């Protein structure tokens, strides 16, 4: 049962297909009588014009831009997305934005394949997800320009670089500079699949600093779990129950840092008096809550990624964007010198 076409409608209404076309585009003058008959036939058959065919015959080349990202529900991705929107702005005619929300690694490859096979995209922005050689080829073959925002850039494609390891070092160095020697890490479970390893990378920065200052690495001070405020809360509770507990916590994201803080407070301790807490991201929320954190310029990175893509697509209209500022330590009220 394929969907009805104007041909079917024409047959049922006893008219030519041209007339049907006129009716659905309510252009030209069609006699009121035949118009009614056509409309009736459309009703009866449940006819819906096929937009793809319509586009082809009208010669419109869809100018859509895609964004592939995971975890769209995280604030950090939302803020990046905001930057993307800013970059697209309000050109006339505008590019439209198609969101591809990757929820499982297995689906990622399927999704890219689907995009290259059937999406009508001018360009694609891939956020914090790896781009394999095959995917690069597939994208190029289908004429889709792409840019990645990534921790693992290389020269084989345009890419806005992030540096999770280095930025994490910034955070932990801050704690060390405050005199802390007993520092814990709270983050996401390390992924074994082919996602980028944000938590691994930030944990790597954490380890580097410990090593650099010859501080002991204690596995029981590294807590990994699902992402989220409540999960971080639970992990921190366990952390505080240890015989020897840390005096500072580096949480791999601001949302998790807020969970850490709640747990510390609920344990009858004070932040930063008893325990210092530093987060990562600098989402908008963090300014409101006074959280010390690492600013990774979320909005700017999204904007920059999209600007890079636009520049690729239309060099005359969009100039090459400025590079991303380096991650920056933002000291607020949740870290203090070791007593």
CB 70 within 8 A of CB 198: no
String of contacts with DNA for each residue 19-48, x by CB under 7 A: x-xx-xx-xxxxx-xxx-----------xx
Which residue number, 216 or 288, has a Cβ lying nearer to a copy of itself?
A: 288
CB of 156 to a copy of itself, least distance (A): 17
Stretch that binds a copy of itself, among 13-21, 30-38, 57-65, 322-330 (CB under 8 A): 57-65
Q: Does 121 bind a copy of itself (CB under 8 A)?
A: yes
Q: Does 195 bind a copy of itself (CB under 8 A)?
A: no
* Structure tokens that stand for 264 in this block: 């510390």
- Of the candidate residues 3, 16, 325, 337, the single one contacting a copy of itself (CB under 8 A): 3
Residues numbered 288-327 forming contacts with a copy of itself, rule: CB under 8 A: 288-289
CA distance 164 to 120: 33
CB 203 within 8 A of CB 191: no
Residue 338 partner contact from DNA, a copy of itself, none using kind-dependent CB cut-offs of 5 to 8 Å? none
Cis peptide before 156 (omega within 30 of 0): no
Which residue number, 18 or 290, has a Cβ lying nearer to DNA?
A: 18
CA distance 159 to 128: 10
| β-strand pairing of 293-295 with 328-330 | antiparallel
DSSP strand E in 4-120: where? 64-70, 96-102
Residues 6+ apart with CB under 8 A from 274: 247, 264, 339
CA distance 305 to 316: 18
Residues numbered 77-116 forming contacts with a copy of itself, rule: CB under 8 A: 78, 81-82, 85-86, 88, 90, 93-94, 96-101, 103-104, 107, 111, 114
Cα-Cα-Cα-Cα dihedral sign, residues 214, 218, 221, 226: positive
Q: Does 111 bind DNA (CB under 7 A)?
A: no
CA distance 184 to 259: 14
- Of the candidate residues 31, 61, 156, 241, the single one contacting a copy of itself (CB under 8 A): 61
Residue 104 partner contact from DNA, a copy of itself, none using kind-dependent CB cut-offs of 5 to 8 Å? a copy of itself
Q: Does 17 bind DNA (CB under 7 A)?
A: yes
Residues in touch with DNA (CB under 7 A): 2-3, 5-7, 14-19, 21-22, 24-25, 27-31, 33-35, 47-50, 53-54, 56-59
């Amino acid at each position: 049962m394929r969907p009805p076409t104007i041909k079917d409608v024409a047959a049922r209404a006893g008219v030519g297909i041209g007339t049907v076309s006129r009716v659905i585009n309510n252009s030209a003058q069609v006699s009121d009588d035949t118009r009614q008959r056509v409309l009736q036939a459309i009703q009866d058959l449940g006819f819906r014009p096929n937009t793809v065919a319509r586009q082809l015959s009208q010669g419109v080349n869809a100018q859509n831009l895609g964004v592939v990202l995971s975890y769209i529900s995280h604030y950090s991705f939302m803020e990046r997305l905001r930057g993307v929107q800013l970059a697209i702005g309000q050109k006339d005619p505008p590019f439209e934005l198609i969101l591809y929300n990757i929820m499982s690694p297995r689906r990622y490859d399927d999704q890219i394949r689907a995009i290259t096979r059937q999406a009508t995209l001018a360009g694609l922005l891939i956020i914090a997800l790896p781009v394999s050689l095959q995917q690069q080829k597939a994208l190029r073959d289908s004429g889709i320009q792409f840019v990645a925002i990534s921790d693992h850039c290389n020269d084989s494609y345009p890419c806005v670089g992030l540096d999770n390891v280095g930025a994490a070092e910034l955070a932990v160095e801050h704690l060390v500079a405050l005199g802390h020697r007993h520092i814990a890490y709270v983050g996401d479970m390390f992924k074994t699949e082919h996602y980028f390893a944000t938590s691994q990378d930030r944990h790597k920065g954490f380890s580097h600093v410990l090593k650099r200052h010859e501080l002991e690495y204690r596995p029981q001070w590294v807590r990994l779990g699902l992402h989220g405020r409540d999960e971080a809360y639970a992990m921190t509770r366990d952390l505080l129950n240890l015989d020897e507990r840390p005096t500072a916590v580096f949480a791999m994201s601001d949302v998790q840092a807020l969970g850490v803080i709640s747990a510390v407070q609920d344990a009858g301790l004070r932040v930063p008096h008893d325990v210092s807490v530093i987060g990562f991201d600098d989402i908008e929320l963090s300014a409101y809550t006074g959280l010390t954190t690492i600013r990774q310029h979320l909005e700017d990175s999204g904007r920059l990624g999209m600007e890079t893509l636009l520049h690729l697509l239309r060099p005359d209209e969009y100039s090459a964007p400025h590079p991303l500022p380096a991650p920056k330590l933002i000291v607020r009220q949740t870290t203090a010198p070791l007593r």
